[in-house]
Amino acid sequence: MVVGDSQIVSPDNIVPSAGKSLGVESAVFSSEGNVPGGNLSTPAVRHLAKQYGISINEIVGTGKDGRVLKEDVLNYAVSKGVCKQQSLASEGNIGQVELLEEGKALLDEDFYEDKKILLRGYQRSMVKSMSLAAKVPHFHYLEEINCDSLVQLKTTFQNENKDQTIKHTFLPFLIKSLSMALSKYPMLNSSFIEETNEVVFKGPHNIGVAMATTHGLVVPNIKKVQSLSILEITKELARLHEMASQNRLSAADIEGGTITLSNIGAIGGKFGSPLLNLPEVAIIALGRIQKLPRFDDDENVYPSSIINVTVGADHRVVDGATVARFCNEWKSLVEKPELLLLHMR
């Protein structure tokens, strides 16, 4: 520093007065800067070292020209015990560390730990049934059904409904029309006994409905649908839903199913590829009803309510042609629900 008579004053000779600031905190260079005699590092790395309360000059840098890298700070912090190594299952997170705040991790260790649970009840049953079903050759048949008439009929039923405890939905109509189609194609309402190579044609139409509950997937069934009205099916379906949600289904509610409906569309899916509920030979996945453009006979575009259905069948005993004919019969009953009146008893 050059002063009055060009005399060079050593920093050691400068003594700041008690009440006067020299404009700088100290004439001695900070040990954390990139200055001669200090370690090279970026501002971000120096800031990280400061968070741990570590002097950058204490760290041996592994970068070019001895530059201190982020990894050097983290490794040094671990070696000094000011933070701990966080072991993660993901390879991209190996080496991640957590700051310690008053002796406690910022994130709980349990946040990253694997957890093991024992499957019970419905979930354990699903493991067994789906493992068996996966060994069976499936044939899947996809069809779309026009639900315009069904939408109008359901709206009429709901408008005329005087019982507030009953809520009309599409599913009871689909179940009843399915039963009608099964009467014409009983092969889809059968079961296969693999040990004896026998097919058992079931008398009652015990149509199961897959239900996702907090306790797992369960498939109760509506007994003897061919003898029930749509209103009776609606009430029984509501009862099964209520019992399933409370985990109070009886063995009788679950046993004896002959064919299964999986109404995945109630959640939001368009298509499904369901696995059989053995020993049944058929299962049907229902997509959600959606408005789509279609052409009439004069090639004019109009909006139509369309549902996609996927029929899964045991290809060991049911051929594709039978599935197609059965689906055509069911489709005609859904698209023209007035035809149900001709077959109802």
Closest CA to 282 of 249, 312, 323, 245: 312
Active site residue 297: no
Instruction: State the DSSP string of 107-128.
Output: S-GGGG--------HHHHHHHH
Q: How far apart are CA 67 and CA 59, in angstroms?
A: 10
What's the first-to-final CA gap in the chain, in angstroms?
112
Q: Which of 140, 215, 241, 315 is catalytic?
A: 315
Candidates 138, 190, 182; CA nearest to 311 is 138
Establish whether 319 is a catalytic residue.
yes
Q: Which three-class secondary structure state does DSSP give residue 252? A: helix
The span from the CA of 308 to the CA of 273, in Å, is 11
Tell me the three state secondary structure of residue 344. coil
- Give start and end residues of each alpha helix (H) in the chain: 43-51, 70-80, 121-133, 148-159, 171-184, 230-245, 251-254, 320-335, 340-343
By annotation, the residues acting in catalysis are 315, 319
